[in-house]
Amino acid sequence: MIVVGTDGSYTKPLTQDYITIFPGQTFDVLLEANQRPNHYYMAAITYSEAPAGLNIYDNTTTTAIVQYRGYYTPSSPPLPHLPAYNDTNASLQVMASLRSLADAEHPCNVPLSMSTNLFYTVSLNSYPCVNDSCLGVNGTRSASSINNISFHTPTIDILEAYYYNISGVYGDKFPSFPPLVFNFTYDYLPLLYQLPSTGTEVRVLEYNSTVEIVFQGTNLVGGTNHPIHLHGHSFYVVGWGLGNFDENKDPLRYNLVDPPRQNTIYVPRNGWATIRFEASNPGVWFMHCHIERHLSWGMETAFIVKNGKHPEAQMLPPPSDMPPC
């Protein structure tokens, strides 16, 4: 396959025997039908790197057949070779190789001067239960968080509350940095760190502000990977790595020339990823892990992008025929 795009943006052509695609992502690939007419398997398996006890997934292989037209006697097709289900290096190989076209017709406008720098930890968490009676790890209730805040979904939507100035629905003090700093990827972390706070906190961004977010995965409750998806914007993936983010060394390795432009970024288990974008779309925009159970456990927040000065840079009013929720 030749990868030519991801999440709606072109990439430099990248030839691959396989791709790793995470929940919420899209890839555009070209397949040249240049083989001897026959039947050929296309196959996919689940990638999982969760620790023992959390590694619950379907370990079967799903298949389809690419079938050439014509008159021939098909042979029994062999299965394609796929990496092991927990091969982290293989899962990162495609992400590490993606590059924007960055040419005259498709410029790469990655922000170089940042007005807002954010550092967000993404964690699995747990709440204790009476007599260890819940179904999570060690009888706890499963949770998840960003910067140790497990999102509480309000009964009035945040967009409506923001537009009509309804107070008490959300707070606008989402922290720029985690409230507790520790060795995020250490193998043995205190159980106390697993307990998150709960809230409906968002971050307010000025129109056209340039934003950098470093997502840091933690090893709380064993840790796992998180595909983080941002509504309303695409962003440039300027860097990623395994282990704890080093603010002095890692930015020196950022790709600010031709980074891929996406809307869902894979944060590796016990690793980090950095994105940059321009907040040029006024409104309220959801950001969340695209693994549904992590989302339902609270790994989500929102950005409020304020209006700009000109009419085309301002949020439109609700339509008169908008149905109620």
Backbone angles phi, psi at 191, to 5 degrees: -60, -30
Q: In this predicted structure, what is the pLDDT of residue 323?
A: 85
* 163: CB partners within 8 A, 6+ apart: 315, 317, 318
pTM: 0.93
Q: In this predicted structure, what is the pLDDT of residue 54?
A: 57
CA distances from 128 to 53, 54, 113, 139, 245 (A): 18, 17, 44, 8, 30
Reported in sequence order, the residue ranges of the chain that DSSP labels E, i.e. its strands, are 2-6, 9-15, 27-30, 39-44, 62-67, 116-127, 141-146, 149-151, 197-199, 203-205, 209-217, 226-230, 235-242, 261-262, 264-267, 271-279, 283-289, 300-305
Q: In this predicted structure, what is the pLDDT of residue 235?
A: 98
Buried b (16+ CB within 10 A) or exposed e, 53-78: ebeeeeeeeeeeeeeeeeeeeeeeee
Q: What is the pLDDT along the chain (325 residues), one digit of tens a residue?
A: 999 999 999 999 999 999 999 999 999 999 999 999 999 999 999 888 765 555 567 778 999 999 999 999 999 888 999 998 888 888 898 899 999 999 999 999 999 999 999 999 999 999 988 888 888 777 889 999 999 999 999 999 999 999 999 999 999 999 999 999 999 999 999 988 999 999 999 999 999 999 999 999 999 998 899 999 999 999 999 999 999 999 999 999 999 999 999 999 999 999 999 999 999 999 999 999 999 999 999 999 999 999 999 999 999 988 899 887 6
> Long-range contacts made by residues 127-133, C-beta under 8 angstroms, separation at least 24?
127/195, 128/195
- Return d(Cα 124, Cα 72) in angstroms, integer: 53
- Return d(Cα 202, Cα 173) in angstroms, integer: 6
| 151 DSSP 8-state letter | E
Q: What is the C-alpha R_g of the chain?
A: 22
Q: In this predicted structure, what is the pLDDT of residue 55?
A: 58
Q: In this predicted structure, what is the pLDDT of residue 222?
A: 84
| 159 DSSP 8-state letter | H
β-pairing, 261-262 vs 235-242, is: antiparallel
In this structure, are residues 161 and 213 in contact, taking their beta carbons and an 8 Å threshold? Answer: no
Which amino acid is present at 323?
P
In this structure, are residues 216 and 122 in contact, taking their beta carbons and an 8 Å threshold? Answer: yes
In this structure, are residues 198 and 154 in contact, taking their beta carbons and an 8 Å threshold? Answer: no
For residue range 68-123, list pLDDT tens digits in order.
Answer: 999 999 998 889 999 988 888 888 988 999 999 999 999 999 999 999 999 999 99
Which amino acid is present at 12?
K
Q: Which residue has the tokens 């690793």?
A: 271
- Return d(Cα 246, Cα 59) in angstroms, integer: 35
3-class DSSP state of 201: strand
| Token code pair at residue 65 | 């057949």
Q: In this predicted structure, what is the pLDDT of residue 136?
A: 77
Q: In this predicted structure, what is the pLDDT of residue 49?
A: 78
